[in-house]
Amino acid sequence: EQLDVPCVVVDRDVAASMRVSRVLYDHQAGVSAAVGHLLDLGHRRIDLILGSPVRPSRERRIGFESEFVRRGLAKSYRIIEAGEFAAESGERAVAELLDGADPPTAIVVGSNQMVPGAVQALAARDVELPGDLSLVGCDDLILAELYRPPIAVVKSDNAEVGRLTAELL
């Protein structure tokens, strides 16, 4: 609030009193579309793994839950707030979901940093993608493209966000 220079914040909430511009990703629409696709494939036990409670996680949660509401489906999912955006968090969360009662048939991992850990937990349990379980990551990551078949991801247009940020600045 003390800065007297132009400032642009990317994908974060800021106090209304701060004089900054913001560029925001539409996390709700992407995750809602991913969940809709999984539901169209016949999945009914779809779980969500989130990182720390920053704007992207909150928005992804809203998009995830809204798709179930929009379709009039009962809350038949679990949401794990893993805390850190790290592979270890993704691995722990997937292990918790798969080792618990009524494991999911699909998982949405709300952070590209957590996907490698999620894949490790699946491999440790001999779970094959997509035959045994469907997995969707958020944001681009090379692992998703290298995995065979590729892991589905909710893509973000980082180049466009960078262009808009530079324009605003």
Which pLDDT band holds residue 144 (cuts at 50, 70, 90)? confident
Structure tokens at 44: 């009914």
Whether residue 74 has pLDDT greater than 90: no
* Whole-number pLDDT of residue 146: 87
pLDDT digits (tens, 9 = 90+) for 148-161: 899 999 999 999 99
Whether residue 87 has pLDDT greater than 90: yes
Mean pLDDT, rounded, for 41-70: 96
Structure tokens at 143: 């692992």
Mean pLDDT, rounded, for 84-106: 95
Rounded to two decimals, the pTM is 0.92
